[in-house]
C-alpha cells in the first residue's frame, strides 16, 4: 500500500507539468476573424460571368473589418468568423450586395455577386504562411516543460524521502535505533523497533515483550 501511494506521488508532478502542454497542443486552433480586425485576404469576384476583381496572396486586399470599409454587407457578414487559410466560394444575393451609395461598385446594384476562393491570409499580422522558428522553438518549449517536470519530480521525491526517513507516522513505523522499518512496539515503553534491534530485548527499557504490527 505504501509503495502504491508513493508511486502515485512520484507520477503526480509529471502529470501536472505534462498535462498543460498536451491540452495546449490539443486546443491549438487558428485565429478567427472578428469585427475590427485588420485583414489581408483575397478572392475572385464575378458578376454575370465577368471577372470584376481579383486578389491573391501576392496582391491581397488590406482592410480593417468595419462597416462602410468592407462592402458589400454580404461579404462583411461572411468574413466574420472565418479562420485563416480556409478558402471558400460564396454567393451574395442582390439584397445583401452593392448599393447605389457604395463607394466601390455602385454600378453593381441589384446584381448577384459570386466570390470564388475567398481566403484570409492574415489576421492582425498573423499569417498561415509564417513558419515557426524551425523546430528550435518547439524543442525549447518542450525541453522547458520536461525540465520543469523533472524538477517537480525531484522536489516531490526529496520530500517523500525525508518524510519517509523522519516522519514514520506518515509512511509507517520506523525503528528507534537504526531507522529501518519496525516490526512491532515494546509493550512497556511503546517504542518501535526492528527485528535485529529488539533481538536482545527492548534497547530502551529492557523489556522482552514485543507487539508485532499487522502487515
Rounded Cα distance between 162 and 14, Å, is: 20
- In whole numbers, what is the pLDDT of the chain averaged over residues? 80
Q: How confident is the model at residue 25 (pLDDT cuts 50, 70, 90)?
A: very low
Mean per-residue pLDDT for 127-132? Answer: 56
pLDDT band at 131 (very low <50, low <70, confident <90, very high): very low
Q: Which three cell numbers stand for residue 198?
A: 529488539
> In this predicted structure, what is the pLDDT of residue 27?
44
Q: Evaluate whether 198 touches 210 at the Cβ level (below 8 Å).
A: yes
Name the one residue in this structure whose C-alpha cell is 451574395: 92
d(CA 67, CA 76): 8
Mean pLDDT of 75-94: 96
Which stretch of 17-26, 118-127, 170-179, 199-208 has the lowest confidence by average pLDDT? 17-26
| pLDDT above 50 for 209 | yes
Prediction pTM value:
0.50
Q: Provide the pLDDT for residue 4.
A: 47
pLDDT at 125 over 80: yes
The rounded distance, in Å, linking the Cα atoms of 203 and 198 is 7
* 153-193 confidence digits (pLDDT tens): 888 888 777 665 555 555 567 787 887 778 788 888 888 87
The predicted pLDDT at position 195 comes to 77
Distance from C-alpha of 215 to C-alpha of 213, rounded to nearest angstrom:
6
Q: What is the pLDDT of residue 87?
A: 96
> Looking at the DSSP assignment, which residues form a beta bridge with residue 54?
44
Residue 24 CB neighbour total at 10 angstroms:
11
Amino acid at each position: 500500500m505504501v509503495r502504491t501511494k508513493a508511486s502515485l506521488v512520484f507520477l503526480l508532478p509529471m502529470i501536472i507539468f505534462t498535462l498543460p502542454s498536451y491540452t495546449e497542443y490539443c486546443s491549438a486552433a487558428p485565429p478567427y476573424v472578428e469585427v475590427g480586425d485588420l485583414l489581408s485576404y483575397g478572392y475572385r469576384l464575378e458578376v454575370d460571368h465577368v471577372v470584376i476583381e481579383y486578389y491573391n496572396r501576392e496582391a491581397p486586399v488590406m482592410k480593417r473589418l468595419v462597416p462602410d470599409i468592407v462592402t458589400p454587407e454580404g461579404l462583411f457578414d461572411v468574413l466574420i468568423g472565418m479562420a485563416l487559410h480556409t478558402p471558400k466560394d460564396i454567393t451574395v444575393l442582390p439584397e445583401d450586395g452593392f448599393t447605389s451609395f457604395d463607394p466601390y461598385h455602385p454600378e453593381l446594384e441589384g446584381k448577384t455577386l459570386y466570390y470564388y476562393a475567398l481566403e484570409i491570409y492574415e489576421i492582425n499580422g498573423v499569417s498561415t504562411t509564417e513558419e515557426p522558428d524551425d523546430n528550435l522553438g518547439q524543442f525549447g518549449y518542450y525541453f522547458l516543460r520536461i525540465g520543469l517536470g523533472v524538477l517537480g519530480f525531484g522536489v516531490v521525491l526529496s520530500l517523500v524521502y525525508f518524510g519517509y526517513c523522519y516522519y514514520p507516522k506518515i509512511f509507517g513505523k520506523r525503528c528507534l535505533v537504526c531507522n529501518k522499518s519496525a516490526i512491532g512496539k515494546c509493550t512497556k515503553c511503546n517504542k518501535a523497533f526492528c527485528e535485529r534491534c529488539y533481538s536482545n530485548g527492548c534497547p530502551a527499557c529492557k523489556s522482552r515483550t514485543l507487539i508485532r504490527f499487522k502487515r
